Amino acid sequence: MAKKPNILLFITDQHRADWLGCTGHPIVRTPNIDAIAADGTLFEDFHVALPVCMPNRASLMTGRMPSVHGLRHNGCLLSKRANTFVDVLAAGGYSTASIGKSHLQPFTQSPPLRAPDKVERLIPEAWKLDSASYTLEQPVNFQGDAVSPFEVPYYGFQHVDMVTSHGDQCGGHYGQWFRETVPNWQELHDPANELNHNYTCPQAYRTPVPEESYPTTWIADKAIEYVKGRSDQNDPFFAFVSFPDPHHPFNPPGKYWDMYSPDDFTVDLPYDAHQNPTAPMEHATEMWASGIAPPIPQMPFRADDQHIREAMALTAGMITMIDDQIGRVVQSLKDTGQYDDTIIIFTADHGDYLGDFNLMLKGPIQLPAITRVPMIWSDPETRAAARTDTLASTIDISASILDRVGLAPYNGMQGQSFLKSLDGTQPHRDEVLIEHNDGGARMGFAQAARVRTLRTKKWRVSVFAGAGWGELYDLTADPKETNNLWDDPEYAGEKATLTMRLVEHLTFQMDESPRATRLA
């Protein structure tokens, strides 16, 4: 029997779909990712299941929506009872590796955003507490200097090189390696030793950590080590290579800091372009006008144009660094004779507002800046350039991989294989469901936001539970989503039809696993 193809899946963190050369960005340079697209299919309308790190990563792994797999928002966890498509690959004879950021369990020990529970409850939760340990990604697991052994399999992964957190001071196995191999690591991690710069945007930090010791390089080094180690093996491999950048803080190292100038960038979609800003947009603007900074660095905020241009320049530097390292990993495939046997996939876990309506980071406003992500599939069976504008979702990646290698999905997987759409001629989905759940109240919401979005080729409708308002945009007439038609009586019929379609999608958000064991 012929050997099944290897699979190399690259994923970046907080990376907009339009911030690649191959997707039309006029400034940021990504020749290596562009080369993958030149030998594969580029999806032009690919959306996440939920535009936040942990829930969408769990959706990628399980092929299920967050409301079904249970990792609803950051700070939750993916139950060890959950099967993943990586489990299926491993059962089907694949060697599996996770290299870089995983984030299927919390990697901090910080308390959640919600207010402390003031009620003493004899039984605190609807479900009995899971007796499994979920501290594998937390700092307590990586306190020593020597690289700690990691408990595997980890959601199907037989080999794990873990990176936790973001920026120049990531933890996990990388953090242990850094402390072990860099003699002056404490000096490099001391904020007092930040290199001089004239940037003033929030979270801009000029790290003294050199390029060769930065997490992005370490992840590529470990991926190359893994690829080379598989060259003489008979079983195929699946490698999940996950970069924590270009997620904030904005701290590209070395030459990547000033590779781009803020003067090269413009804020093409300013706040004033929106004809009727929504309540959270107005709240962010009020905080900005009053000089009130978000209480934690993960919260979205409004910024002035200069700060946005600075963040854009630094983000571009982080993206080009990732691109350089991806080039090294792909070259290792070629050097070891494995390129012609390897499917290469590139995607991201969610986007970043990055200046749209003067907003930064991510939050409950479901702009395409955060829901639409890059997706490229380069297959050795074709290695031909194609583009598709069909709608597709993160939950479809797992089903497509299993379909490609001839392994049946488990019961309860919601994703659908998009293999028939790879030539760019056949549609995949007519519409996609996107969820959002906040872990606490922010952006002016009285309670943690619960948002459900339906996106078609012509419309985007978003319902905000308990808010008394919503969003409706005609994407044909208003592709930048600058005029909310929710309260426009002329569009009441479209709103009713779309909200009913959304209700139908929500009706299907029931876990179909496990199957019934008896007729009744």
Tell me if residue 390 falls in helix, strand or coil: strand
Distance CA 92, CA 171 (A): 32
Q: Contact, 271 vs 357, CB < 8 A?
A: yes
Q: What angle do CA 384, 390, 394 make, to 5 degrees?
A: 90
| Average of per-residue pLDDT across 379-404 | 97
- Amino acid letter at 396? D
Task: Please report the pLDDT score of residue 351 as a whole number.
Answer: 98
Residues 298-315: tens digit of each pLDDT:
999 999 999 999 999 999
Residues 125-168: tens digit of each pLDDT:
898 878 788 989 999 889 877 777 889 999 999 999 999 999 99
Distance CA 479, CA 458 (A): 9
Q: Give the residues across from 250 on adjacent strands.
A: 204
Dihedral-angle region of residue 394 (phi above 0 means left; psi in -120 to 50 means alpha; beta otherwise): alpha
pLDDT of 277 higher than 60: yes
Identify the weakest region by mean pLDDT among 117-126, 253-262, 412-421, 447-456: 117-126
CATH superfamily of the domain spanning 6-109+132-427: Alkaline Phosphatase, subunit A (3.40.720.10)
pLDDT of 1 higher than 60: no
Which pTM does this prediction carry?
A: 0.97
What does the buried/exposed string (b/e) look like for 313-339 if buried means 16 or more CB atoms within 10 Å of the residue's CB? Answer: bbbbbbbbbbbbbbbebbebbeeeebb
| Average of per-residue pLDDT across 461-473 | 97
Q: Work out the burial of residue 396: count CB atoms within 10 Å of its CB; fewer than 13 is exposed, 13-18 middle, 19 or more buried.
A: buried
- Amino acid letter at 215? P
Task: Please report the pLDDT score of residue 2 as a whole number.
Answer: 67
| Average of per-residue pLDDT across 179-185 | 96
Average pLDDT of the chain, as a whole number? 96
Cα dihedral 110/113/114/116 (nearest 10) = 40
Distance CA 87, CA 3 (A): 19
State whether the Cα torsion 47-323-221-193 is positive or negative: negative
